[in-house]
Amino acid sequence: MLAALAGVAALGVRLAQALSGPPEGWPVTLGLYWQIVGFLVLLLLAGALAYRTLAAFTLSYELDRNGLVPPTVSFYICLLPSRLNAAC
């Protein structure tokens, strides 16, 4: 995740430098296109990895009358409209 964030930061700085100034002066090249695509892909990857990390830290076990319930992602279950979110 840190490598993806570092890539986002590096590409973000390069894009900010390339796209500074009026839009008429922006370069229209294939290299700039791939920088934008790479920035978006790395941003999406960093977001997905941050979500997975947060999900791993919020795993919890619950004990009900039937025994130990498998791990659930607490913050995700609270978003679902069901009987499971009564404890939220």
pLDDT tens-digit readout, 11-42: 999 999 999 999 999 999 999 999 999 999 99
Do residues 4 and 42 lie in contact, with contact meaning Cβ atoms separated by under 8 Å? yes
CA dihedral of 65, 70, 76, 82, whole degrees rounded to 10? -40
34-79, pLDDT tens digit by residue? 999 999 999 999 999 998 888 778 776 666 666 666 655 455 555 5
**Residue 88 in this model has a pLDDT that exceeds 80:** no
What whole-number distance in Å separates Cα of residue 15 and Cα of residue 77? 38
Instruction: Report the Cα 27 to chain-centroid distance in Å.
Output: 29
Spatial distance between the Cα atoms of 67 and 61, rounded to a whole number of angstroms: 10
Q: Is the pLDDT of residue 10 over 80?
A: yes
pTM for the model: 0.65
